[in-house]
Amino acid sequence: MKCRFIILIVFPLIWPQIAKSQYTGWKKESCLSHYLSGLSNIGNLEYQKKVYTVGMIGIPLSFALDHTFETYIKDHKLYNTSISKIGDIYGHRWGYTAVFTSIIITNVIQGNTYRKTCSDAGLFMEAVLTTAAITELLKRSIHRQRPIGYGKNSFPSGHTSGAFTLAVVLNHLYGQTVGTLAYGMAAFVGSTRINDKKHYLSDVFSGALIGIIVGRSFTKEHYQPVTFSYRPEPKGFEIRISSTL
Give per-residue burial for 200-211: e unless 16+ CB within 10 Å, then b. Answer: bbbbbbbbbbbb
Q: What is the pLDDT along the chain (245 residues), one digit of tens a residue?
A: 444 544 444 454 444 444 444 443 334 446 778 788 899 999 999 999 999 999 999 999 999 999 999 999 988 999 999 999 999 999 988 899 999 999 999 999 999 988 889 889 999 999 999 999 999 999 999 999 999 988 899 999 999 999 999 999 999 999 999 999 999 999 999 999 999 999 999 999 999 999 999 999 999 988 644 444 455 666 555 544 443 33
Which residues are CB-neighbours of 125 under 8 A, at least 6 positions away?
Answer: 11, 15
Element (H, E) at 238: strand 236-243
Q: Could you count the other beta carbons within 10 Å of the beta carbon of residue 52? A: 15
Percent of the chain topping pLDDT 70: 78
Q: How far apart are CA 157 and CA 234, in angstroms?
A: 54
Query: pLDDT tens across 84-117, in order?
Result: 999 999 998 889 999 999 999 999 999 998 888 9
CATH code reported for the domain at 2-243? 1.20.144
82 three-class SS: helix
Q: How far apart are CA 189 and CA 175, in angstroms?
A: 21
CB distance 120 to 103 below 8 Å: yes
